[in-house]
Amino acid sequence: MSTHFKKIIPILRIFDISKAREFYLDWLGFTVDWEHRFEADLPLYMQISRGNLTLHLTEHHGDCSPGGKVFVEVEGIEEFHKELSDKNYNYNRPGLGPAPWNAICLEVTDPFGNRICFSQPNA
């Protein structure tokens, strides 16, 4: 049997749960799939998703470093941009712009320095 990669799930470092929820759930529209803590007062590890996009967010210092970047290919980027713009999020107002790889992009930066580049190839 040959190797078959089934899914990629980026892990992003977070430091403040309320800011993470405001950014990822309230603004970007993700939902929480599950949350895990080894004990009640230990760091949070959670899975969030929106459609086919799944992310893991972690407070654990050993899981990853802040400041990562995730590239997400999308369809309907103009509608997504309008959805985000209509929410008037105080800390991020991304624009749409052309990319050198023949696409239109929308990039957001979370409160912890992680970036997500949403990219829609041009027709």
Instruction: Report helix, strand or coil for 38.
Output: coil
| Domain assignment present for 6 | no
| Domain assignment present for 4 | no
Strands 115-121 and 103-109: antiparallel
pLDDT in tens, 31-45: 999 999 999 999 999
Task: Count up the domains in the chain and report the number.
Answer: 1
Picking from 4, 8, 9, 2, the residue whose alpha carbon sits closest to that of residue 57 is: 9
Distance from C-alpha of 54 to C-alpha of 48, rounded to nearest angstrom: 6
What CATH number has the domain bearing residue 51?
3.10.180.10
pTM: 0.94
pLDDT in tens, 90-106: 999 999 999 999 999 99
- Strand ranges in 1-123 using DSSP code E only, listed in sequence order: 11-13, 31-36, 45-50, 53-58, 69-73, 97-99, 103-109, 115-121
Range of the domain at 30: 11-121
Picking from 70, 72, 25, 69, the residue whose alpha carbon sits closest to that of residue 49 is: 25
Average pLDDT of span 94-123: 96
| Domain assignment present for 51 | yes
Token pair for residue 37? 């803590």
CA angle centred on 62, ends 4 and 108, rounded to 5° = 70
Confidence of residue 1 (pLDDT cuts 50, 70, 90): confident
The greatest distance separating any two alpha carbons of the chain, rounded to the nearest whole angstrom, comes to 51
